[in-house]
Structure 1
Amino acid sequence: MSSGQQARAQAAAITPGSTPPDQERPPAERLLALFDGRRLSPGQRRIAQYLVDHLTEAAFLSITELAERVGVSQPSVTRFAVSLGFSGYPALRDVLQPIALSAVAGTPGTPGPADPREQLRQNGLQAAVDAEIENLESVRRLLADTHQVLEIGRELAGSVPLTVLGLRISASLAEYFAYAARRIHPDVRLVTRGGSVAYDALLQARAAGGTCVLAFAMPRHAHESLAALRAARAAGLRVVLITDPTVGPLVEEADVVLTAGTGSRLVFDSYAAPGMLSAALLQAMADADPERTQARLEQYEQAADQHGFFL
């Protein structure tokens, strides 16, 4: 079997499902299937996005030309191909070229697109939304156990102060949760910096009577996130962790783990599922102490009206 045949067989092996046959699938689906389920770095996603946007040209470029077009190094292109399960860029290109040719020719039985690259781009964005819908479905199944969610809500509501931790890309999720939680909780402390700053904040929260920390850890997982979780446990805080569905050292340092998948089909991750899970936990916190929740919400609305916070 030639290297090209081996590469094509390899691509078929990582393509989900067996029907319809790979050669009968639309070119956009065949291309996106190469990336499906792969955890790519932002730099690798730039390469993937370039292939989606310029497939009919990119599939015939040398590794040097592709690296120059994308603005990355040649080793980065090689690592990208290997991350997809290929032996190197030549094997990946052997698979890309037939897909590119079929995109130009049009899929049998359907009108050929005026611009195949535009079809690929549109389908890629739709596929990203579809993947997020699947992530939300997973969260929906997780929330079927209302007892677990309410118990976690009570634990978070009862921790005064409550520490909310999120570093690097996870900081935005932590900020959202802390912003909303302050409306219904008397003392919420947000930690978005790692190292000794995080350690100090965790020690102070425990000394002030806090019992729990809610941590967000989305990929790519940072060493400083792991260090912060270990510091929280060493300080005597229980760790509730919201993360993506992976098993690793972060999970081992948590007392409670709730998983929510991140959308990884675009250059940067999307967080519809973690955001929905956060909102569900906020609801559980509100329900855990309804009298306190109502009183604090009324106080906030009075302050908002008095100071004209909103239009």
Structure 2
Amino acid sequence: MDRQSEVPQALGDLINRNSTRLTEADTRLLDVLMQDPVRAAMDNGKEVSSRAGVHPASAVRLARRLGFKGYPEFRSFLQANLLEGGGDFDNPAARIAARLVRAEDGGVLSSVLDSEIAALERLRNTVSDADIRAFSECLRKSRRIFLFGQGHFSSLSALVSLRLNRSGYETVDLAARMNQLPETLNTLAAGDVVWLLAFRKVSPLIQEMRAIARQRGAEVLMLTDVLNARLDPAPDHQILVSRGKAGDSQSLVVPMTIANAVILDLAAIDDGRSLRSLAGFKSFREDCGLSRALV
């Protein structure tokens, strides 16, 4: 396995440019760094030297041979590569490490809050009321709504399904029916809406759902953070959001905010259907006796 291909390309360039100056200790240090680029960006020079089995000062000497004033500057370089070199990382450990790097100065909570606030401010400037209205109009006219999100976003699809059902819209959470997807999707028909939540990547399963929706004449909505998300054919309506830059917390609040806005706008345009359904559900829950039976 070519481990050098796993490290940031800029580090690989530095190694190549200075290869004739590197000592045996340098090679051992670089081997440790390349084995685990994520940890390399987190450890200090003493820790890296210890893992490489060399003198503590060796890490400082390596940093200087590569053109840095000392190991802290070299470590900052590695951290910058971690934060900026790979967009939103496919490696979960890299994503967490990048966030820890950002949190070092101000604390974890402050770092997460800053990320969420920044992501929400970007949302204000990138998604319009017209985008929200396109989704809510589509839902208002629907016969049934089918929602699907994978991974963390199966929780979002469950919550949105719950809220839409309480608002009087027949909604199916496909993520909760993974063992019955063929049976459920076989009922898709014209007048139905499929709302897809695609984050970090557009999976083959989502592509298949889009294809089935087209065959059955159902409309497709897509909420995604994938800049170049490709569905063939394209969804009928799509909202593209940023959940944060590399090293940020990759907000779950941003897509939930969009969903909340769509459901609120739906209540504003459906001639009281949502409000009547919510009031009816409240009365039923209070009078049906189920709450007492479940205690």
Fold shared by both chains (TM-score > 0.5): yes
* 2:47 corresponding residue in structure 1: none
* 1:186 corresponding residue in structure 2: 169
> Are the counterparts in 2 of residues 42 and 267 from structure 1 also a CA contact under 8 Å?
no
Q: Residue 132 of structure 1 is aligned with which of 116, 133, 153?
A: 116
Q: How does 1:235-250 map to 2 (within 5 A)?
A: 235-250=216-231
> Are the counterparts in 2 of residues 242 and 257 from structure 1 also a CA contact under 8 Å?
yes
Question: Distance between the aligned counterparts of 2:257 and 2:214, measured in 1?
Answer: 26
Following superposition, the deviation at residue 28 of structure 1 comes to 9.3
| Cα 1:230–1:32 shift into 2, 3 Å | farther
> What SS does the corresponding residue of 1:290 show, helix, strand or coil?
coil
Question: Distance between the aligned counterparts of 2:111 and 2:166, measured in 1?
Answer: 36
> Are the counterparts in 1 of residues 168 and 274 from structure 2 also a CA contact under 8 Å?
yes
1:212-233 CA-to-partner distances (Å, cap 9, x unmatched) read 2111111243221221122212
Following superposition, the deviation at residue 175 of structure 1 comes to 0.9
| Cα 1:31–1:284 shift into 2, 3 Å | farther
* 2:186 corresponding residue in structure 1: 203
Following superposition, the deviation at residue 188 of structure 1 comes to 1.0
Question: Distance between the aligned counterparts of 1:216 and 1:198, measured in 2?
Answer: 16
Q: Residue 149 of structure 1 is aligned with which of 115, 132, 143?
A: 132
Following superposition, the deviation at residue 310 of structure 1 comes to 11
* 1:44 corresponding residue in structure 2: 91
| Cα 1:265–1:159 shift into 2, 3 Å | same
Q: Residue 104 of structure 2 is aligned with which of 110, 117, 120?
A: 120
> What SS does the corresponding residue of 1:257 show, helix, strand or coil?
strand
1:101-156 CA-to-partner distances (Å, cap 9, x unmatched) read xxxxxxxxxxxxxxxx997275465444333323212321244x323422320211
RMSD between aligned residues:
4.1
| Cα 1:287–1:49 shift into 2, 3 Å | closer
1:258-308 CA-to-partner distances (Å, cap 9, x unmatched) read 012234767984411111111111112111213211210110110222246
Q: Residue 82 of structure 2 is aligned with which of 17, 21, 35?
A: 35
Specify the code of the residue in structure 1 equivalent to 2:80. A
TM-score by length of 1: 0.59
> Are the counterparts in 1 of residues 199 and 226 from structure 2 also a CA contact under 8 Å?
no
Q: How does 1:262-301 map to 2 (within 5 A)?
A: 262-263=243-244, 269-301=250-282
* 1:174 corresponding residue in structure 2: 157
Following superposition, the deviation at residue 37 of structure 1 comes to 4.7
Q: How does 1:55-94 map to 2 (within 5 A)?
A: none
> Are the counterparts in 1 of residues 143 and 170 from structure 2 also a CA contact under 8 Å?
yes
| Cα 1:195–1:174 shift into 2, 3 Å | closer
Q: Which has the larger radius of gyration?
A: 2
Following superposition, the deviation at residue 257 of structure 1 comes to 1.0
Following superposition, the deviation at residue 255 of structure 1 comes to 1.7
Question: Distance between the aligned counterparts of 2:255 and 2:20, measured in 1?
Answer: 41
Unpaired runs of at least 5, structure 1: 6-21, 54-116
> What SS does the corresponding residue of 1:250 show, helix, strand or coil?
coil
> Are the counterparts in 2 of residues 128 and 263 from structure 1 also a CA contact under 8 Å?
no
> Are the counterparts in 1 of residues 202 and 226 from structure 2 also a CA contact under 8 Å?
no
Matched, 1:218 2:199: yes
Q: Percent identity?
A: 16
| Cα 1:48–1:239 shift into 2, 3 Å | closer
Following superposition, the deviation at residue 172 of structure 1 comes to 1.4
Following superposition, the deviation at residue 245 of structure 1 comes to 3.9
Unpaired runs of at least 5, structure 2: 1-16, 22-68
TM-score by length of 2: 0.62
Following superposition, the deviation at residue 204 of structure 1 comes to 0.8
Specify the code of the residue in structure 2 equivalent to 1:129. L
| Cα 1:176–1:183 shift into 2, 3 Å | same
Question: Distance between the aligned counterparts of 1:28 and 1:277, measured in 2?
Answer: 38
1:18-66 CA-to-partner distances (Å, cap 9, x unmatched) read xxxx99x99997665333355578783425646887xxxxxxxxxxxxx
Question: Distance between the aligned counterparts of 1:194 and 1:39, measured in 2?
Answer: 34
* 1:18 corresponding residue in structure 2: none
Question: Distance between the aligned counterparts of 1:3 and 1:49, measured in 2?
Answer: 31
> Are the counterparts in 2 of residues 167 and 194 from structure 1 also a CA contact under 8 Å?
no
> What SS does the corresponding residue of 1:177 show, helix, strand or coil?
helix
Q: Residue 303 of structure 1 is aligned with which of 276, 284, 290?
A: 284
* 1:255 corresponding residue in structure 2: 236
> What SS does the corresponding residue of 1:192 show, helix, strand or coil?
helix
* 2:18 corresponding residue in structure 1: 2
| Cα 1:266–1:294 shift into 2, 3 Å | same
> What SS does the corresponding residue of 1:150 show, helix, strand or coil?
helix
